[in-house]
Amino acid sequence: MSELVIAIDGPVGSGKSTVARRVAEVLGYVYLDSGAMYRAVAWKALRNHVPLDSEEELQAMAGASRIDLLSTDDSFRVLVDGADVTDEIRSAAVAQAASKVAVIAGVRTVLVKEQRRAARGGGVVMEGRDIGTVVFPDAGLKIFLEASVEVRAERRRLEHAQKGECLELSEVLEEVRQRDRRDRERAVSPLVRAHDAVLVDNTAMNAEETARLIVLLARERDGAKAAVRKV
Ligand code: C5P
């Protein structure tokens, strides 16, 4: 199989990470989580007490930071200036802060450049909010993942619970709604489905079923690409 860029976008709890990881594993591609970069910037801002609405300071901080995504077959690690922050960036506080720093155009410019660099050469599954619309408008396959807000909140609650963070479903539902609003309504790179993205609603599908569907679509796209190359 040749090397497509597969863009998977969708809201919180739509299953992007699990699905994208599995698709990459089946196809032998590299998995890249763009949200981890926004979380990394947010983590550093919280740690250094940089106000989350200070555009200039956040842009400068993002530009001066080194964020490494280390993707191997069985792990995905995130380093900020050499320090491993993989687990720390998954807290509810960092998630909220990430969706705040993500509204800042200057921060997005810095991170989009890094994302394009990381996916040079293809053979990549990248997940996020603007991958099919802004980062890779020419991606070989674009997927927009959706699920009902209640199902997404329950998935999120379970994720937090697995890390020992016990939250009420109503609390998580509110967190998900707030992040949805910020992601969908922001002026720069809002979360929208690219006109040529395949809409996959996985409210009633598990991650494995969703991943299989995407793998089938990828093989179909890749076959079509190969046929065009032969002509
Ligand atoms: O995907 P995840 O929930 O880890 O992303 C954290 C936050 O980063 C999101 O709520 C969103 O605001 C932001 N984000 C973004 N664009 C991306 C990926 C994530 O704005 N491509």
Residues 130 and 214: beta-carbon distance below 8 Å: no
| Ligand 1 neighbourhood includes 38 CB (under 6 angstroms) | yes
pLDDT, residue 230, reads 63
Q: State the average pLDDT over residues 84-95.
A: 93
Whole-number Å distance, alpha carbon 224 to ligand 1 midpoint, is 31
Report which of 65, 53, 35 is spatially closest to residue 100, judged by C-alpha positions: 53
Q: Which of 5, 16, 31, 38 should be mutated for ligand 1, with most atoms under 8 A from CB?
A: 38
Question: pTM of the full predicted structure?
Answer: 0.92
**Nearest to 126, CA basis, from 28, 23, 32:** 32
Which residue(s) pair with 201 in the sheet?
146
pLDDT tens-digit map of 64-86? 999 999 988 778 899 999 999 99
**Pocket flag, ligand 1, residue 71 (CB < 6 Å):** no
Mean pLDDT, residues 30-56: 96
Measured torsion, CA atoms of residues 141, 144, 147, 149, in degrees rounded to the nearest 10: 150
Q: How many CB atoms lie within 10 A of CB 184?
A: 12
Is residue 191 within 8 A of residue 11, CB to CB? The reply is yes
Total count of residues recorded for the chain:
231
Taking residues 57-66, report their average pLDDT.
Answer: 96
Q: Which ligand 1 atom lies nearest to the CA of residue 38?
A: 8
Instruction: Return mean pLDDT, the chain.
Output: 93
Which domains are seen in the chain, by residue range? 5-230 (3.40.50.300)
Distance (Å, rounded) from C-alpha 15 to C-alpha 82? 28
Residues 6+ apart with CB under 8 A from 173: 149, 150, 153
- Expressed in angstroms and rounded, the spacing between residue 208 Cα and the centre of ligand 1 is 22
- Digit-coded pLDDT (tens) for 179-197: 899 899 989 999 999 999 9
